[in-house]
Structure 1
């Protein structure tokens, strides 16, 4: 086994040098991902499955499993190409997680193949526990080594030996260290049968006492649900996740508590109660599936919904299997757990592997679903969630996004037209109007809304004659007709000169989010303010920017009432400060007046 660990360390050191110096294939995910998969998969499978006298058989089976993993890695790496064109932060964690879980399940079967045993649930259960605990303890050892190396590096840094301190952060050092520490931990802890068996017994005892408590929570939840309606659950936005988590905890505790050969004898009333609740567990997964499908009907498939649907479907199979055991054996239903658990474990393994293939690629499924919403006219092409596609959907999302950009003739991801910009841009004879959240409408300057802007105008403090220059300054800003609703014109002395009048144009601005996968359509409203001033060479129209944050309202009438009734103080207590070319201002707040401050502090002789 030491030779396997040493060989893996050498390969990992080579990969570290490649990453450190940006050598090929560090920039080619289609080669890099399967290379890392090969370097980690084969040695790990051998270290966990090998036993004295069967190394060759173990190596052969591990090689077959590794070939499958490498092919999956090649596909996932290809999904991350072209490199640098989109975000791949969501690709690799999912791949690593699916490979770890599928490797954990496959290892339990592999160990029985290597030992020339038929597939038995008791052996599968025992192997799974041992592998999980050995891996956990090996990771703990790896963490301890990491802490010691970090302290060592800090010591070198304090002593001024930077070259040695930086060595501990280099990929060519970190990667082989991880391999050696984890491999040594695996060799050590696989031999500690007493330690492993003691921990397993402790966890099984804990599961025995937790199972009735969790099932009681499930029962109370299901009894309460008809009185509060399922709508209240969906309104939380976490309904399906809560149901899946609750069902998963219940199923996991059932698997642990009713292990093969366990002498688990609850008192008869408790066992009957457990049986009743186990029989209704399918309700949890069914409700979760309903919630997921409702969201899919509203917003289409996404990667997270695909995973949630898979989790709920797997829980449904578990719970239906247990229900069948209750129907057949009543309180002796745990007899059915062995075949059900083996079957579903194999199904989980298949789903995890196929998810990394074109057969069940959740990113491709989600991309097709979101594109179908555009093609069906459910949403406009400009309302397609380009950011989600670039962040979560990898190559399929990137290709569809590029296709939609070509069809639109402009790129909604461009900072000029994407994001929550409030100032429209006029360029090349076109006026681009953005209504928050990505709903973009391209119009020409002549395409003015059919509205009489001045007929809608309200005035403060009372109607007055608007000078022609002021009217012309407002009319020159074509986008005002799009942006300002319920306009209000106010006479004000903005510069403190009572002999000269300036004007404020107030209004309501509507920001509409058209909806995206998982987020419904929403609209917010906030006040807008513009000043019309004459610095000496004619009236100018100036947008006022807030100096403090203000939460938008969901009620336009509330904003309109503020514009019509709220006082408009014009003079700050403290003037702005200019240092060089930079102007500083105190943050907006209700500063007390000097008189009030004096009286409150008792400023008297």
Structure 2
């Protein structure tokens, strides 16, 4: 094995006294450069500035984590690749504008790719490929996490101390430190220097951090026991009661299920460790790890079913496509962990988990990198799916979310709306044109159909004007915050601007709306939001479904609920 390959092996890192100073200077200069790139005389963060800033942040950080006294050429190349990758992603994301709607996911995919690539590079995967020792990779995953977190904590403490010193000197009319803090360049440079110095000190103590890693994993392995018991009870309950009990308990089970699956993954590896000889002999911990390894796959399957159910109901969107990717990765890990104990003899399942970790980490890194590239347009894929649902009649016209095409799918969605405006169906054309010309999103379809129907059932219209009734119904339909409890609409007559005034009374509170009945239906009527119940000291009367809500003569007119005044007089 070459010298370069042993430098990064666990337990062999030599103390390098200059490391803290070099990393402090490197990251301080990088921070200073980022300041001038991103805040040059208040310049906008145009694509080239965003790309350069990303390169100046992630390149030096990658170099700082991999630099060693006898090994700097390969880390420099790796840092250059990281800088180029993140610069390209930043350029693409910042230049996308509103042409795309999932730029944040591109950046997230890039971060996942370089985060996974870092320990693989440190372990020598670029040379050894699949001969890379698992204990090296696992060692660097934990030491990178611990040293990075420790450097962040030190940076925060350094800023706290600096602020205390600024206050101390300001007390005697010396404002030098306070003035420095107010300078943008100083903040970036100080943060970089503090983080670099702390990281350098911690990287010099990897042997100690390796010991700390064992302690952390021991603590995590203890937590694995109660989580294993809880997950066993949970899965048995779902099996006995049916999946529907989970859907009824929460509207978004997928993030919850994936979070628990990730927790199970971390705790399984806390028990599995680097090799069989490091695994605790405690039978409770071993059985807990086995239960968790078997539980990850059912959790990932439930998340997949949840995602599939939502897609079947609402169709694809860029966010849901990224959700599919996350669920697919979870299912892959879950399946590998589920198969490991049942493939071959049970005693060797931990070694099979370690092998799966290596292969899946590389695969996930490559997948994340590919998804960060401009190869797939999730907005276009989603727009085609939504149009197919509409054209096939799978979703009714009045239930179709035209606003989502306008705001959530980028140019692909707006192009789809433009095509719908030229279609043969006048209703679809009118709704598509309305969404295309909207300046503010109304979120009319942000809730489930049954929730909207329930709100409309709460509405009681106490006037006979059919045109005004339709406008009020449309307004409540589009306003998810309206009529979540029994509510009453009262006609207040014509306003000074020639529009009809309507009072919506809910929970004893009164809000006035104005509607133009002389023109076409105004589905997005502007709410005046005159919550008069809060503008005086009149107590809010109780209101139930059968309450009598009426207008009584008073020196002016006001609203009464069950004979008690509500809010201020409106005349």
The answer to whether the superposition gives a TM-score over 0.5 is yes
Query: Using a 3 Å threshold, how does the CA distance of structure 1 residues 364 and 165 change in structure 2: closer, same or farther?
Result: farther
Q: Tell me the equivalent position of 1:598.
A: none
Quick one: distance in 2 between partners of 1:323 and 1:135? 32
Quick one: distance in 2 between partners of 1:149 and 1:459? 64
Tell me how far 1:263 sits from its aligned partner. 3.2
Q: Does 1:203 align with 2:216?
A: yes
Q: Tell me the equivalent position of 1:511.
A: 476
Query: Using a 3 Å threshold, how does the CA distance of structure 1 residues 181 and 102 change in structure 2: closer, same or farther?
Result: farther
| Range moving further from structure 2, 256-265 or 156-165 | 156-165
Q: Does 1:324 align with 2:339?
A: yes
Q: Does 1:257 align with 2:257?
A: no
Q: Tell me the equivalent position of 1:239.
A: 253
Asked if structure 1 preserves the Cα contact closer than 8 Å seen for 2:24 and 2:193, the reply is: yes
Query: Using a 3 Å threshold, how does the CA distance of structure 1 residues 333 and 510 change in structure 2: closer, same or farther?
Result: same
Query: Using a 3 Å threshold, how does the CA distance of structure 1 residues 227 and 167 change in structure 2: closer, same or farther?
Result: same
Aligned counterparts, 1:15-164, within 5 A? 15-22=34-41, 26-29=44-47, 31-80=48-97, 91-92=103-104, 94=105, 97-113=108-124, 118-154=131-167
Tell me how far 1:589 sits from its aligned partner. 10
Tell me how far 1:53 sits from its aligned partner. 1.4
Q: Tell me the equivalent position of 2:534.
A: none
Give CA-to-partner distance per residue, 1:447-488, whole Å, 9 cap, x none.
xxxxxxxxxxx999xxxxxxxxxxxxx8xx78326347xxxx
Query: Using a 3 Å threshold, how does the CA distance of structure 1 residues 550 and 80 change in structure 2: closer, same or farther?
Result: farther
Tell me how far 1:4 sits from its aligned partner. 6.1
* Equivalent residue pairs, number: 487
Q: Helix, strand or coil: the match of 1:225?
A: helix
Aligned-residue CA RMSD in angstroms? Answer: 4.6
| Range moving further from structure 2, 334-343 or 373-382 | 373-382
Tell me how far 1:591 sits from its aligned partner. 6.2
Asked if structure 2 preserves the Cα contact closer than 8 Å seen for 1:512 and 1:523, the reply is: no
Tell me how far 1:204 sits from its aligned partner. 1.0
Quick one: distance in 2 between partners of 1:382 and 1:271? 52
Give CA-to-partner distance per residue, 1:324-360, whole Å, 9 cap, x none.
2212122431120121001111122123222322235
Query: Using a 3 Å threshold, how does the CA distance of structure 1 residues 122 and 75 change in structure 2: closer, same or farther?
Result: same
Aligned counterparts, 1:193-232, within 5 A? 193-232=206-245
Quick one: distance in 2 between partners of 1:193 and 1:278? 29
Q: Tell me the equivalent position of 1:463.
A: none
Tell me how far 1:547 sits from its aligned partner. 7.4
Q: Tell me the equivalent position of 1:443.
A: none
Quick one: distance in 1 between partners of 2:76 and 2:289? 44
Q: Does 1:310 align with 2:325?
A: yes
Unaligned runs of 5+ in 1: 421-435, 440-457, 461-473, 485-507, 516-521, 553-560, 577-584, 593-605
Give CA-to-partner distance per residue, 1:301-323, whole Å, 9 cap, x none.
23443343223222222222123
Quick one: distance in 1 between partners of 2:31 and 2:162? 18
Tell me how far 1:197 sits from its aligned partner. 2.5
Q: Tell me the equivalent position of 1:352.
A: 368
Q: Tell me the equivalent position of 2:32.
A: 13
Q: Helix, strand or coil: the match of 1:186?
A: helix
Asked if structure 2 preserves the Cα contact closer than 8 Å seen for 1:509 and 1:528, the reply is: no
| TM-score with structure 1 setting the length | 0.67
Give CA-to-partner distance per residue, 1:416-442, whole Å, 9 cap, x none.
88638xxxxxxxxxxxxxxx6699xxx
Query: Using a 3 Å threshold, how does the CA distance of structure 1 residues 136 and 314 change in structure 2: closer, same or farther?
Result: same
